[in-house]
Amino acid sequence: MSTSTGIDPSAGGRLRAELESILERLHRDGGVRHIDFVAGDFLDVAQGVEQQELANLTVSRLTDRARRLHGALTRLQDGVYGVCSECSAPISPKRLLVLPDTTTCVACQEQLERVEPR
């Protein structure tokens, strides 16, 4: 079910639930463990460095996701959630269901990706 704007009324609840889940995970697992590089052989140190880098990457990605979800909640509160930031057209409810923090419609995103390839 959707409102007259095409936005599912439960979108805010889903956004909040996902944000809370991420924040809980960051709080629980976010502390990057410091590896003692003095003890152990080369392989132990290399494995420790790899684990630390993976932990840092995970924290970085979760933090970025939390920031984008917070932005989506702000847009929802401001009444502009589901409106393309590039062309001001409505973003498809199906797109918002899959990418709830998106700020662009498919057409504008494709255009942006052609202009700024990753």
74 and 89 belong to one structural domain: no
pTM across the whole model:
0.73
Evaluate whether 15 touches 100 at the Cβ level (below 8 Å): yes
Number of H helices, E strands in the chain: 4, 0
36 and 76 belong to one structural domain: yes
33 and 47 belong to one structural domain: yes
| pLDDT on residue 21 | 92
Assigned domain for 1 exists: no
- Judged by average pLDDT, the poorest of 1-5, 29-33, 35-39, 106-110 is 1-5
As given in the structure block, the two tokens for residue 108 are: 């504008």
pLDDT tens figures, 24-80: 988 887 655 565 656 668 888 888 888 889 988 999 999 999 999 999 999 999 999
Q: Tell me which residue of 59, 70, 71 sits closest to 25, measured CA to CA.
A: 59
The total number of structural domains that make up the chain:
2
| pLDDT on residue 11 | 83
| pLDDT on residue 20 | 93
Assigned domain for 68 exists: yes
